[in-house]
Amino acid sequence: MICPSCGTHIPDGSAVCPACHARLSGRGVPASDAPIYCERCGALVSKDDECCPSCGMPLPKAKEPPRPTGRGKAISERLADPSATGPQRRLEASEEDDSSLSDTHAMPRIESAIPPDPHSEEAAESTDHTAMGTRSIVLAALAALVVVGGVVLAIVHPWDPDAYSIKATTAADTSMAGFPGTISELSGQDKDATSAPSVSADDATYEQLHGDWEDLGTLASRLEAAEEGFEEAAFSDDESTRSAAEKEARDVAIEISNTIDDIDSADVSTGTYEDSKATLTKLGNWLRNQSDNLSSAWDAVDKAVSAGDLESSRSDIVAILKSQQGSDGKNTYASMFEGAYDGAEPARS
């Protein structure tokens, strides 16, 4: 007899297959009625099928199922031995099952839990994806750092702390606006707290008045030189010589006026330097009177040049300049200035 489940030959009248332990309902299956196994894939097929329903392989007609041979046959014989019981029968049954799978070429599909070989293509592809993801994260972080760092540097300007300063820091030529020379900052401009030591009101007044006193002395020397060279420059045939001398005289006049204004702005509310301020104002006015007389002489020169009679107007022009001369032949205001200048120097209190 043949077991309908595994195809093992079994003794007639057996109720249980000794190989697979399937119940036979009291009898086996005749060999002629036994199912057919596909030679290609080992699938169990019906004898009436012309092709294997699993792989499509054409089936031979009325072919006997393969008989166990070799190790499988020995196991079947041992299983058929009634003396084989307990663990031995189960072990042999398991071995017989393995051999039957081998004989029928049926391979069970089991997903392996073992990780792939690190040198395989699959492992290499997985590693590449991981490396690409890490590189993307690192590059994104670096890009964000560069952008944020650039914005911060653009805002704070560590290499140029005064980049957004609104203070006037460029010297400006103010000679045409009634101020001598150039200025480097506005008078009302905020200054850094550490730029200069703190001074008292009297000390600040002293520094201002003493600076004005020194300026008056310098202007007096320039004004005297301009008067002495007036006649030679004013009647020169070289127009550039006349222009340069006239410009010097008018520049001195402007600077004298500005110095007098600076003296007037000195704060003497404490009364400490009130007398010094008054004396310096008087000296400044004497220089301004002398300068105005020189400017009048130059006005006459310009008028004569425009009329084309400069040389014929020489005596009239020189008379204007000498109108303030004293018996010693020197400008009266210049003499008064020289006599009072040294004693007008402010003294620190």
Stated as kind and residue range, the H or E segment containing 293 is: helix 274-307
Measured between alpha carbons, how far is 212 from 208 in angstroms, rounded to an integer? Answer: 6
Burial of 164 (0-12, 13-18, 19+ CB in 10 A): exposed
φ, ψ at 328 (rounded to 5°): -85, 5
Q: Decide: 78 and 99 in contact? Cβ < 8 Å.
A: no
Name the least confident of 121-135, 229-243, 310-324.
Answer: 121-135
More confident residue, 109 or 139: 139
Calculate mean pLDDT across residues 154-176.
66
Answer positive or negative: Cα dihedral of 106, 109, 113, 114.
Answer: positive
The predicted structure's pLDDT at residue 182: 57
Confidence tier at 123 by pLDDT (50, 70, 90): low
Confidence tier at 268 by pLDDT (50, 70, 90): very high
Confidence tier at 193 by pLDDT (50, 70, 90): very low
Query: Is the model's pLDDT at 100 over the cut of 50?
Result: no
More confident residue, 229 or 62: 229
Percent of the chain with pLDDT over 90: 40
What three-state secondary structure class fits 82?
coil
> What's the token pair of residue 182?
């150039």
Quick count: other Cβ atoms within 10 Å of Cβ 99?
20
> What's the token pair of residue 195?
């730029």
Confidence tier at 172 by pLDDT (50, 70, 90): low
Residue type, 141: A
Q: What rounded mean pLDDT belongs to the chain?
A: 77
The closest of 98, 99, 43, 39 to 73, measured between CA atoms, is 99
Q: Enter the pTM of the model.
A: 0.46
